């Protein structure tokens, strides 16, 4: 019997669960899945049986049939009870995963922006606090640009260690991670299959997404909303790191940012390396050399 059932068990196709609330979600999924399997065989089995029983026969006569109140009331009430029951059963896990008021106190906060076709992440750095940006201050939206998608106000001292990465998502293990998600163009869906997280991100508003992952490793991050021609490429890997590994990564990023902001003393152009020296390499491409004329 188990061998027969395992043929239909698509639940085995799920990726490994690494989320604290994942098992509860998988149980809900399993209940709905097996109810669907049972109803599928019941309805199609009956349909096949009746097709055979009432098949065309020599001398058979069709007759008009104007419904049956008992049957119609039954097939209205039974699904109503079934769907209401699934609704009540799933409410607890829905509250746990999606209600902002029920989310645990975050250990780590990250801001994510979907874009065609990738993901920008803003980390608060080692101090764990974001400086002024478009998420926490609407007026900072004026600072948003292609090179500053989060509208970070670098004049705010708290912004000094805030850093942005593209398609490089890192979270610590065994921590309540709160992600504030939005999009800079169209609808995207922030999908972490192993973490059992899937949340649409919508331009113009912020969605709260939380999870707590109990296993370190490298996993898949994908966009689960058909968002344009490059949708297929909107995937990346993310890492669940040990606490020390995560802190080391934050320190490394802070150093990289400090180096990038430092005065470019060593990078000063050498003599003879003026823009004019490039003139001879002009390819004739109109969009190439913005410095000419
Ligand atoms: Cu997308």
pLDDT at residue 35, rounded to an integer: 92
Q: Given pLDDT bands bounded at 50, 70 and 90, which one contains residue 162?
A: confident
Kindly tell me if the per-residue pLDDT of 279 is higher than 50. Answer: no
Please tell me the distance between residue 62's alpha carbon and the centre of ligand 1 in angstroms: 54
Q: Which residue has the higher pLDDT, 285 or 47?
A: 47
Mind listing the pLDDT tens digit for each residue in 231-266? 998 988 999 999 999 999 988 988 888 887 776 655
Q: Which residue has the higher pLDDT, 240 or 131?
A: 240
Q: Is the dihedral of CA 141, 144, 150, 154 positive or negative?
A: negative
pLDDT at residue 69, rounded to an integer: 92
Please tell me the distance between residue 55's alpha carbon and the centre of ligand 1 in angstroms: 50
- Region of 174 please: left (phi>0), alpha (psi -120 to 50) or beta: left
pLDDT at residue 265, rounded to an integer: 58
Domains recognised in the chain with CATH numbers:
2-53+67-101 (1.10.287.90), 104-261 (2.60.40.420)
Strands 163-166 and 118-123: antiparallel
Please tell me the distance between residue 241's alpha carbon and the centre of ligand 1 in angstroms: 25
Please tell me the distance between residue 49's alpha carbon and the centre of ligand 1 in angstroms: 45
pLDDT at residue 288, rounded to an integer: 37
Please tell me the distance between residue 274's alpha carbon and the centre of ligand 1 in angstroms: 41
Q: Given pLDDT bands bounded at 50, 70 and 90, which one contains residue 194?
A: very high
How far out from the chain centre does Cα 68 lie?
A: 48
């Amino acid at each position: 019997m188990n061998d027969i059932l395992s043929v239909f068990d698509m639940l085995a196709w799920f990726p490994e669960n690494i989320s604290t609330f994942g098992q509860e979600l998988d149980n809900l999924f399993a209940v709905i899945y097996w109810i669907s399997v049972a109803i599928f065989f019941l309805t199609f089995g009956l349909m096949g049986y009746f097709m055979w029983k009432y098949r065309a026969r020599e001398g058979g006569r069709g007759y008009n049939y104007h419904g049956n109140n008992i049957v119609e009331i039954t097939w209205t009430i039974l699904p109503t009870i079934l769907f209401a029951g699934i609704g009540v059963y799933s409410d607890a896990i829905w509250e746990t995963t999606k209600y902002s008021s029920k989310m645990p106190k975050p250990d780590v906060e990250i801001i994510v922006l979907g874009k065609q076709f990738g993901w920008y992440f803003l980390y608060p750095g080692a101090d764990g606090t974001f400086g002024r940006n478009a998420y926490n201050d609407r007026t900072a939206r004026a600072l948003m640009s292609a090179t500053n998608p989060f509208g970070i106000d670098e004049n705010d001292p708290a912004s000094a260690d805030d850093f942005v990465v593209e398609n490089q998502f890192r979270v610590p293990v065994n921590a309540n991670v709160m992600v504030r998600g939005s999009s800079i163009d169209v609808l995207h869906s922030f999908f972490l299959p192993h973490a059992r997280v899937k949340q649409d991100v919508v331009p113009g508003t912020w969605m709260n997404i939380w999870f707590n992952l109990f296993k370190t490793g490298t996993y898949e991050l994908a966009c689960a909303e058909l968002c344009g021609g490059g949708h297929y490429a909107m995937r990346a890997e993310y890492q669940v790191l040990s606490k020390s590994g995560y802190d080391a990564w934050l320190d490394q990023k802070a150093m990289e940012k400090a180096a990038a902001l430092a005065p470019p003393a060593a990078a000063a152009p050498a003599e003879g390396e003026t823009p004019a020296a490039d003139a001879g390499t002009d390819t004739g491409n109109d969009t190439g050399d913005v410095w000419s004329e």
